[in-house]
Amino acid sequence: MAKEIIEVKNLKVHYPIRSGFWNRITDYVRAVDDISITINEGETYGLIGESGSGKSTTGKAIVGVEPVTSGSIIYKGVDITKSKNRHRLNYNKDVQMIFQDSLSSLNPRKRIEDIIAEPIRNFENLTTDQERDRVQELLDIVGMPSDSIYKYPHEFSGGQRQRIGVARAVATNPRLVVADEPTSALDLSVQAQVLNFMKHIQQQYNIAYLFISHDLGVVKHMSENLAIMHRGRLVEIGSREDIYQHPMHIYTKRLLSAIPQVDVEHRDEHKKHRQEVEQEFQNDQSKWYDKDGRVFPLKHVSDNHLVALPEKEIVEEETNDKEGA
Ligand SMILES: Nc1ncnc2c1ncn2[C@@H]1O[C@H](COP(=O)(O)OP(=O)(O)OP(=O)(O)O)[C@@H](O)[C@H]1O
């Protein structure tokens, strides 16, 4: 059975909105609103949703760079949102992040050697020679030439910088890497290369990824499990098969229909399907949200497949399944 590495329970990150003469809090942006996910050792867990759905905030809260409003993040049996002691220190070593924009996330004034060595220096006491060997080894793992250590981030292409970002993220030998849209700024062909070597590193070092993306197409062959996020909430959670073969929420179906079609023969058919799904999504919004305009809580449709629909809809889905069987 898969061993879990991290359990996020009822996570909320709310930002106050202030207004008026006294600058009082009048409302909150519910960037993350009651999210629960479990990531297993060595797996890729896809967190998917459109811009503004709360994916990055979830990722940053897990890494610990965004304050949590409520909820818990359990690592090795400890809630790290409450623990500031040595458990927390190990957590900072074991959980790392890769960012979308490698140009702004890598310090432009530092050489690659220092960029990659920085996280190692925070947690280990290596001699200069040991440290250089380690950096060389990491560069080798991500397929970068050894003389890269003397260079600066602007001397590399986007794809190469992303490799350097990955080398930095895995430098401390982490158990979980939160990868926030790591390929979305790259050309398609480079995207595939980066995904391939991320997969390769994962297998070699048994790293789990929380892979954040707006595109269900990108994570299709990477993720064992996926969570679909919308308006700060989860609308569907399931295995790769659940999400790609049996999507239940209209929002998941909409994201699936947005995957670009390479198959020229079926392009018109795909376009028509996309329009139908979009129409369904727009037509009956009241069906997908509660009276306050919020996404419904998740409910089980099978052991690991959960969907955010009103009770009535789920019963109908189950009945249909039985009828079809
Ligand atoms: N520091 C902040 N203060 C106030 N609101 C914020 C803050 N950070 C994020 N938000 C809001 O929270 C919501 C979720 O943002 P978030 O960046 O997590 O979404 P996202 O799904 O990652 O989108 P994108 O891919 O565009 O980054 C958005 O409405 C955003 O404007």
> For the domain that residue 66 is a member of, what is the CATH number?
3.40.50.300
CA of 139 to the centre of ligand 1 (A): 32
Q: What is the rounded average pLDDT of the residues 70-92?
A: 82
Q: Which range of residues forms the domain containing residue 204?
A: 4-324
Give the model's pLDDT for residue 176. 97
Name the closest-CA residue to atom 2, ligand 1. Answer: 15
DSSP string over 83-108: --SHHHHHHHHHEEEE-S-HHHHS-T
- Give yes or no for residue 316 having a pLDDT over 60: no
Do the interacting molecules here have an ipTM over 0.95? yes
Whether residue 280 is predicted with pLDDT greater than 90 in this model: the reply is no
Q: Is pLDDT above 80 for 72?
A: yes
| Mean pLDDT of all residues belonging to the chain | 89
- 310 versus 214: the higher-pLDDT residue is 214
pLDDT for res 312: 65
Region 289-316 average pLDDT: 83
Residue-wise pLDDT for 54-70, tens only, equals 999 999 999 999 999 99
Determine the atom of ligand 1 nearest the C-alpha atom of 17.
4
Residue-wise burial string across 47-78, b where 16 or more C-beta atoms lie within 10 A, e elsewhere: bbbeeebbbbbbbbbbbbebebbebbbbbeeb
Q: How far is the CA of 62 from the centre of ligand 1 (A)?
A: 15
Q: Determine the pLDDT at residue 324.
A: 44
Q: Whole-angstrom distance between the N-terminal and C-terminal Cα of the chain?
A: 29
User: For position 323, what pLDDT does the model report?
Assistant: 46
Mutate to test the pocket of ligand 1, among 25, 29, 63, 229 (most ligand atoms within 8 A of CB): 29
Task: Tally the domains of the chain.
Answer: 1
Query: Alpha carbon of 22 to those of 25, 26, 28, 58: distances in Å?
Result: 9, 11, 16, 31
Atom 31 of ligand 1, residue of closest alpha carbon: 52
Q: Name the residue at shortest CA distance from atom 16 of ligand 1.
A: 54
Would you state the pLDDT for residue 315? Answer: 55
Q: For the segment 111-145, what is each residue's pLDDT rounded down to a tens digit? A: 999 999 999 998 888 899 999 999 999 999 888 99
Ligand 1 mean position, distance from CA 25 (Å): 18
Burial class (CB in 10 A: 0-12, 13-18, 19+), 13: buried
More confidently predicted of 242 and 286? 242
Burial of 189 (0-12, 13-18, 19+ CB in 10 A): exposed
**pLDDT bracket for residue 207 (50, 70, 90):** very high
* Cα-to-centroid distance, 236 and ligand 1 (Å): 20
Ligand 1 atom 1 nearest Cα: 15
Q: Specify the residue with its C-alpha closest to ligand 1, atom 29.
A: 52
Per residue in 88-101, pLDDT (tens digit) is 668 889 999 998 87
Distance from residue 208's CA to the centre of ligand 1 (Å): 24
User: Mean pLDDT lowest for which of 39-48, 88-97, 133-142, 218-227?
Assistant: 88-97
User: Could you tell me what percent of the chain has a pLDDT over 90?
Assistant: 58
Cα(66) to ligand 1 centroid in Å equals 11
Residues enclosing ligand 1, CB less than 6 A? 15, 29, 31, 49, 51-57, 214
